[in-house]
Amino acid sequence: MKVLVLGLPRTGTQSLADGLVQLGISPIYHMREVARNKHQALWIEAIDAKFEDVGVPWTREDFERVLENFEGVADYPAAIFPAELVSAYPEASIILSVRPEDKWCESMESTLVHLQKKRAPGDTTSMSVLSGKYHHHCWGDDFAATGREFFRKNNQLVRHLGKERKFLEWQPQDGWAPLCSFLGVDAPPEGTPFPRSDDWVEYKKMVERENTATENAESA
Q: How far apart are CA 92 and CA 109, in angstroms?
A: 31
The three-state secondary structure class of 1 is coil
| Mean pLDDT calculated for residue range 4-8 | 98
pLDDT digits (tens, 9 = 90+) for 110-125: 899 998 988 878 889 9
In 9-168, which ranges are continuous DSSP H helix? 13-22, 32-36, 40-51, 60-67, 82-88, 101-109, 112-118, 126-139, 143-161
pLDDT at 219 over 70: no
Mean pLDDT of 207-212: 71
Residue 214 pLDDT exceeds 90: no
What is the mean predicted confidence (pLDDT) over 91-114?
Answer: 95
Query: By residue range, what is the domain housing residue 145?
Result: 3-219
Number of domains in the chain: 1
- Are 130 and 46 in contact, with CB atoms under 8 Å apart? no
pTM of the model: 0.90
CATH code of residue 150: 3.40.50.300
- Angle, helices 143-161 vs 101-109, to 10°: value is 130
pLDDT for the residue numbered 197: 72
Per-residue pLDDT, 212: 72
Which tens digits make up the pLDDT trace of 42-81? Answer: 999 999 999 999 999 999 999 999 999 999 999 999 999 9
Q: Residue 220's pLDDT band (boundaries 50, 70, 90)?
A: low
